[in-house]
Structure 1
Amino acid sequence: MNLINKLLNWYFSKKSLPYWCLFLADSMIVLVSGLLTFWAENKTLEMFYHRFEVLYSALLYVAISWIGWRLFKTYLGVVRYSSFVDLMKVAYANTLSTVIVLVVSLVLEHFGIAALCAFTKTEIIITFLVATLLMWAMRVVVKTLHDVTHNDQPLTRVLIYGAMTGGIGIAKNIRTQKPAKYLLRGFISHDKRAKNMMLLGEKVYNVDDDIAEVIEKEKIQAVLVSPLRLDDFRNNQRIQDELLHAGVKILFAQQAKEANIKNGELSEEDFAGMQLKEVSVEDLLPRQEIKVDMDSVGAMLTGKRVLITGSAGSIGSEMVRQIAIYKPAKMMLIDQAETPQHDILLMMKKDYPEIDAEIVVTSISRVTRMEAIFSTFKPDYVFHAAAYKHVPMMEPNPSEAVMNNIYGTKVIADLSVKYGVKKFVMVSTDKAVNPTNVMGCSKRICEIYVQSLNNTQKVCQFVTTRFGNVLGSNGSVIPLFKEQIKNGGPVTVTDERIVRFFMLIPEACKLVLEAGTKGNGGEIFVFDMGKPVKIIDLAKRMIALSGAKNVEIKITGLREGEKLYEEVLNELEGTKPSFHEKIRIAEVRQYDYAAVSKDIDELIAISKQYDNMKTVAKMKEIVPEYKSNNSIYEELDK
């Protein structure tokens, strides 16, 4: 008795019926199907007279059915997880068994063993049709009952944005999830011909329909966006606003096969490991996909020695990751921030253990240390991302902006020429254009210096890249808003008119790498940042996405040196096309290296006196278009 109990506990501890239960159930279905078929065709009296022959024949057919079930393993599936594939296996197995039964019946008739041939050929076929339907029905009923009785949480009612374009794959995926989370209530399609059609039993709506009305009518709680419709969704502000206003969650389907997304060739297999991610405000900002020739980048960097300054920052750390992919011979990673630099050390050991990388904690303005690094490392390529970048921090500390941004850049640039670096790529900012603050002016002086240095020698090619805000960078407005919303508000916006350009960090870094690869030296590459975004609209969207209630937006006034809008060119600059539609070459004024070098040496000497007014006055002398805004240095512009 104990042995029987142990066996039962072992079987049912798996939380599914043991395979022999399904095997017996299917056998019983075939037996009953045979008996019912004979009775329906011949009535009760005939069945009574031939009861033994009928029973023997039915049992024989059950035994023969085992052959098909064994070959197709129909009894090994977990019934509550039955799928279309399982149902087809049953059909194939029963078809094979029917053929064998017919053959056996003919053979037995030939030898005159009539006792085992009570069924006619028609009855055999009907028997297995009935048996197949009943076996299907049993699996479907068990699956349905399990799904209904094992959902502890109510299902989220959803629409899928994108019908034919990946939407069906998402629909099938969510319908097979265990436990079930979503209840599909329709599709949103861009194809006008699909309007009012039915897909998988659900209605197809057009993107131009009143989606708010559909949401209210169907009590929609979330919209799942197909990977192939992400760009369309990002650029459809009307749909976004309707969903956010209705309090509907927006989920993006994330999965690994990025190449298939780009080629528009998603198959059902691509959705096997699909993850649904609730969107952030970064996902909703309008932008178009930026395609970059990374093959050229790889050809340039593979097997080379690469030095990156500011390697622990938002841009620098992403450049580290993107460059490491191409297996440079060695990497020298420099930053003065100890803890973030330690994070880079751990990341390199974990993700790129095969890369010979040296992580250094130091300041780029330490000449002796930089000289030692360049003389021993001898880099082929330098990517210069190190800089103090926060406008409110640099405004009261102009001497530090000069020493780190300008003097540090001069040190790295001069050493690049001295030690034969092939290419020096500097990351600049749109705040360098018509600067209104110390930080922006310091970066413009860096641009002027490396461009003039490029024109005086043939050893190193100096390339500058200029772009605006990157989403999620350290100190950017989005992390600040998230923290303020988390704390219940208020969300602080400096001015309701203020606008900014935004770009994803990986996209910005790819453009930097391509510009650095294809630049010939002396260029200032300007990135097309897309459409500007009003910061107050950004704040409203983040509050709506968070689901937080009664979060106030507070206007605090422009900070020192802050602009209402950023520019990538000043009024005297034009652009010309480059190798990439998203990259333009700025036509800027050329400077004499000797004069620039003399002015910078004087600026550095003044900054060491820590006299803010004198330091900024010299900066304005070097960059005449620098006009302070909302700052104590406005006095110098009079």
Structure 2
Amino acid sequence: MVRRIDLIPSSIKLSLVLAYDLWALGIAFYLAYLIRLGVESLTISWPEHLVFFIVLSATLILFYLFDVYNSVIRFFNAKAFLTIQFLLIIASLTFYLSSYAFDAFVPRSVPIVFLVLASVQIAGARALVSLIAKNHWFDEREAVVIYGASNAGRQLAHVLAQGNQYQALAFLDEKKRYCGRNILGLKIHSPQRINALLKKYGSFKVLIAIPSADPIRLKQVLAKIEPYALEVLMVPDMSDIISGKRNIDEFREVSIDELLGRKPVQPIPALLSANISDKVVLVSGAGGSIGQELCRQIVLQNPKKLILLDVSEAALYQVHQELSETLANSGGGTTLTPLIANVQNGLLMTNIFTRHQVNTIYHAAAYKHVPMVENNVIAGVSNNVLGSYEIAQAAIYCQVETFVLISTDKAVRPTNVMGASKRLAELILQGFAQQDHHTRFVMVRFGNVLGSSGSVVPLFKKQIKQGGPITITHPEIIRYFMTIPEAAQLVIQAGAMGTGGDVFVLDMGKPVKIVDLAYKMAHLMGLTIKDEDNPQGDIAIQYSGLRPGEKLYEELLISDDAKSTQHQRILTANEQAIHHSAMRKILTQLMAAIQAEDEMEIRQILLNAPLDYQPRPQAVEQTKVNLKRSCKVA
């Protein structure tokens, strides 16, 4: 926190007060003679001037000895007033006695008038400043440095100067021609001088005033600030500022996609609209993170009807309300139909597809949280495997044109039940693709999406705001990340490319080390990590150990012969499928084990299936523990 007056150097403030006191004492001295003698009789010779010098010197020395110049004027109180009065009385006595020493003409009333005038001008002025000082000078404000000295930065500095929340200290800009100059009284510094600014002003926030910068540029800017552990805020997008949706001083936190700096690729319009425009589209799991974003992207392509299908009433209501408002504002003609249904009910799925004459299905209904599925094997396999089988079989029966399965990187050489169930769902669709029917099956596989339910990003933010600790399972754990909007767009485009039985893999960019992500997030929220190098840090990291079924590294391909497609971020994987008859045999075994509620048998079936499933030992042990507990309860 900082106040405007704190930005004025102490030496300048002391010089101003000294100058004022000199002026006030001079006025009081000579005005006292003028009041006593009148203009016509006023005659002051050199002895009187010498007395003035003695009185002036004595007063300033007394003020210095009694710490008058070390006191803070805005905290001026009765004690300080009495101190100054006492010192001015001594100065008045000095005035009177000096007349004898230098044979000066000093009428007895002049020192008294001098005392009154000096008290009003010196003590009274200090009291007045203390009482009527404007809040915008003395109220504490948040110290900020503006990154970007262009138009947006200048507008921001002007807006901040009018308010009373932030105090701009300086500008930061990479352009050499700007550095060293001043804008609105604020000096422009190179980013290399952040450390010097910290030494001068202490901690401050950094406001990024580059509203039109692309993700790569923002990532570079954030990389320069992040090591200093300064809280970083962003100005709104320029389009929102121009349209009036947001003011330039409505700051937001740095989003994780800006931190990762992944530049989005423009979608191919023909691929986006191919399976959607003027068609009846159904999204299963419409209330989930991916399902909701798929629906947002789908309504932009003007489908005839969008069916929102989910087992959760609350989630379904939320997405239906949001999309209804979107369509009302845009004037779109799409019909929205929210349906509460379970994909494991094949007859109900058939009824829905027939009644609404569905053309395209995006199957996003799945249990995806690894620990949850690991502890709820029957529910996880029932939903992810049997649910996919039932909805896919219903799609074939109703001659749905396109069926797109949302898969996961955890399906590649799975080490957990969730990944194994998703890989088995892929094989089911590949088996169906071998049969003679009118439905085209496509699978799209990708990694973690930023901000989805269960993502580490919102969890880390919550933990950092609460003061920690940040919980990470392992110091070496690495994950791929992609924004939800980009993932949804790529899923839709990949779904338009497949010919039947295709497995598409999204290019997730470079993998991210989770501990590095935690450090960067903490730094950009203005906090330091407590570790061996910095034992006095603000927040600690706590390693909890890998959870049952969790991998250190995720993969997207089973084989390494992925081929490029017409979209630069979509690859097609050439992966082995099994015959649909073999697939039916595995499903029959699974259904029997699920009906018998035999978790160990379900795991064994997954192990025997051609999934390359290699569970971590503690996952199997946890299942045994759960079974023992269930037996005791029974």
TM-score computed with the length of structure 2 as normaliser: 0.68
Please tell me the residue identity of whatever aligns with 1:289. K
Which residue in the other structure is 2:260 paired with? Answer: 286
> Larger Rg: 1 or 2?
2
Which residue in the other structure is 1:322 paired with? Answer: 297
User: 199, 207, 225: which one pairs with 1:216?
Assistant: 199
Which residue in the other structure is 2:48 paired with? Answer: none
User: 254, 258, 264: which one pairs with 2:236?
Assistant: 254
State the Cα distance separating 1:321 from its structure 2 match. Answer: 1.5
Q: Tell me, yes or no, if the aligned pair for 1:175 and 1:182 is still in contact at 8 Å.
A: no
Greater RCO, CA 8 A, separation 6+: 2
Residues of 1 paired with 2:342 and 2:427: CA distance? Answer: 22
- For structure 1, list consecutive stretches of 5 or more residues without a partner in the other structure: 1-145, 259-266
Q: Which SS does the other structure have where 2:501 is aligned?
A: coil
Deviation digits for residues 516-550 of structure 1 (CA, Å, limit 9, x no counterpart): 23333332221222232222233334444555774
Residues of 2 paired with 1:187 and 1:487: CA distance? Answer: 31
Which residue in the other structure is 1:351 paired with? Answer: 326
Change in CA separation of 1:603 and 1:319 when aligned onto 2, cut-off 3 Å: same
Residues of 2 paired with 1:269 and 1:180: CA distance? Answer: 25
Q: Which SS does the other structure have where 2:475 is aligned?
A: coil
Which residue in the other structure is 2:603 paired with? Answer: 616
User: 567, 590, 603: which one pairs with 2:555?
Assistant: 567
Percentage of matched positions with identical amino acids: 34
Deviation digits for residues 58-92 of structure 1 (CA, Å, limit 9, x no counterpart): xxxxxxxxxxxxxxxxxxxxxxxxxxxxxxxxxxx
Please tell me the residue identity of whatever aligns with 1:512. V
Residues of 1 paired with 2:261 and 2:197: CA distance? Answer: 27
Which residue in the other structure is 2:419 paired with? Answer: 440
Change in CA separation of 1:435 and 1:323 when aligned onto 2, cut-off 3 Å: same
- For structure 2, list consecutive stretches of 5 or more residues without a partner in the other structure: 1-131, 528-536, 624-634
Q: Tell me, yes or no, if the aligned pair for 1:441 and 1:623 is still in contact at 8 Å.
A: no
Counterparts of residues 91-106 of structure 1 (less than 5 Å): none
Please tell me the residue identity of whatever aligns with 1:569. L
Q: Tell me, yes or no, if the aligned pair for 2:504 and 2:571 is still in contact at 8 Å.
A: yes
Which residue in the other structure is 2:158 paired with? Answer: 175
Deviation digits for residues 382-423 of structure 1 (CA, Å, limit 9, x no counterpart): 111000111111113222222110111111112222222221
Residues of 1 paired with 2:420 and 2:169: CA distance? Answer: 55
Deviation digits for residues 351-392 of structure 1 (CA, Å, limit 9, x no counterpart): 334532111112100122111111101211111100011111
Counterparts of residues 220-235 of structure 1 (less than 5 Å): 221-225=204-208, 226-229=210-213, 230-235=215-220
Deviation digits for residues 199-247 of structure 1 (CA, Å, limit 9, x no counterpart): 555444444x243223433556222221233532324564232342xxx
Which residue in the other structure is 1:85 paired with? Answer: none
Deviation digits for residues 582-601 of structure 1 (CA, Å, limit 9, x no counterpart): 22211211332222233223
Which residue in the other structure is 1:583 paired with? Answer: 570
Q: Does 2:498 match 1:519? A: yes
Residues of 1 paired with 2:394 and 2:431: CA distance? Answer: 15
Q: Does 2:515 match 1:536? A: yes
Q: Tell me, yes or no, if the aligned pair for 1:492 and 1:555 is still in contact at 8 Å.
A: yes
Residues of 2 paired with 1:232 and 1:404: CA distance? Answer: 43
Q: Tell me, yes or no, if the aligned pair for 2:308 and 2:320 is still in contact at 8 Å.
A: no
Greater alpha carbon shift after TM alignment, 432-441 vs 480-489: 480-489
Change in CA separation of 1:223 and 1:374 when aligned onto 2, cut-off 3 Å: same
Aligned residues: 475
State the Cα distance separating 1:633 from its structure 2 match. Answer: 3.1
Residues of 2 paired with 1:497 and 1:463: CA distance? Answer: 34
Residues of 2 paired with 1:151 and 1:450: CA distance? Answer: 69
Residues of 1 paired with 2:564 and 2:437: CA distance? Answer: 24
User: 459, 471, 475: which one pairs with 1:496?
Assistant: 475
Change in CA separation of 1:158 and 1:269 when aligned onto 2, cut-off 3 Å: farther
Change in CA separation of 1:581 and 1:196 when aligned onto 2, cut-off 3 Å: farther
Q: Does 2:379 match 1:379? A: no
Deviation digits for residues 430-467 of structure 1 (CA, Å, limit 9, x no counterpart): 10011000000100111112123223235122111111
TM-score computed with the length of structure 1 as normaliser: 0.68
Q: Does 2:580 match 1:593? A: yes
Q: Tell me, yes or no, if the aligned pair for 1:243 and 1:249 is still in contact at 8 Å.
A: no
State the Cα distance separating 1:631 from its structure 2 match. Answer: 2.9
Residues of 1 paired with 2:467 and 2:306: CA distance? Answer: 44
Which residue in the other structure is 1:411 paired with? Answer: 390
Please tell me the residue identity of whatever aligns with 2:279. K
Residues of 1 paired with 2:417 and 2:197: CA distance? Answer: 52
Residues of 2 paired with 1:431 and 1:404: CA distance? Answer: 16
CA RMSD of aligned residues (A): 3.0
User: 427, 437, 442: which one pairs with 1:463?
Assistant: 442
User: 567, 576, 594: which one pairs with 1:607?
Assistant: 594
Q: Tell me, yes or no, if the aligned pair for 2:415 and 2:614 is still in contact at 8 Å.
A: yes
Residues of 1 paired with 2:182 and 2:163: CA distance? Answer: 25
